[in-house]
Amino acid sequence: QVQLVESGGGSVQAGGSLRLSCAATGYTNSMICMAWFRQAPGKERYGVAAIDTRGGSTYYADSVKGRFTISQDNAKNTLYLQMISLKPEDTAMYYCAASEPWVCSSGYWLSQTSVTYWGQGTQVTVSS
């Protein structure tokens, strides 16, 4: 079992920044592909960024490239999502996700169906 706990969400104005954190506990060695998903009201949940925690390769959705950065601190078993130049359309519930190793490199990290473990989510609201 892997437990994921997100923090760092909040309300900011457009152009602002936030950093989300996800603390992972449990048998984390099996969940090599870590990702951030988001879900806006009435919309599907989809991946915005992922990282292969073995080699550090990162992956981003086109909508966030150049603005979001995913990173990890292995010593703390913590995943981060640094978000800058936030836009109102970034408003959503953000979820931390853990998946099996093959998910990142296959491109399936964008899909919620490939996720094994979820965090409870943290709300990000960007006002114009």
> Model confidence over 69-101: pLDDT tens digits?
999 998 899 999 999 999 999 999 999 999 998
Nearest to 8 by CA among 126, 94, 116: 94
Share of the chain above pLDDT 70, in %: 100
Percent of the chain with pLDDT over 90: 77
pLDDT of residue 23: 95
pLDDT at 28 over 90: no
Task: Tell me which amino acid residue 40 is.
Answer: A
Which of the pair, 56 or 36, is modelled with greater confidence?
36
